[in-house]
Amino acid sequence: MGIVEGLFVLLFLLVGIFFNSLGVVSLYRFPDVYTRMHGATKCSTFGSLFTGLAVIVYTLFRYLSAGESRFLVLAIHTFVAMAVLLVTNATGAHAIARAAHRSRIDPKFAVVDRLAEKEGRRRRAA
């Protein structure tokens, strides 16, 4: 029991650490705010999800071996926290992207920008 649990926890934690680190690296590596957002949002959400998954595996193994419902409660709360994180991170990134574009921060090296085209037409018409 101990070995299996440890292996699963180690695997999930390593994946989580790997993706969270990539999210931080992408903050420095990409040229502008939109591409940074790709790295930071996706990788840190995914990394935190896997960290939560490690905690869930640990608590469920504890629940199965010890039978204390305290661990089940911990697992349920971790699951809720993960769901909240999944929804809020994606929506928050969307809000920042929209705000950045509305405050005229252009995507660097962009080959096409349909949103600016649409707003340009609207500005000329008004």
Please give the backbone phi and psi of residue 111, each rounded to the nearest 5 degrees, phi first.
Answer: -90, -25
35 binds other proteins (CB under 8 A): yes
Whole-angstrom distance, CA of residue 78 vs CA of residue 84: 10
Q: Which is nearer to other proteins, 29 or 64 (CB)?
A: 29
Q: Which is nearer to other proteins, 69 or 124 (CB)?
A: 69
At its nearest, how many Å lie between other proteins and the CB of residue 16?
Answer: 7
60 binds other proteins (CB under 8 A): no
Whole-angstrom distance, CA of residue 61 vs CA of residue 72: 10
Q: Which is nearer to other proteins, 64 or 98 (CB)?
A: 98
Hey, CA dihedral for 71, 75, 81, 84, is it positive or negative?
Answer: negative
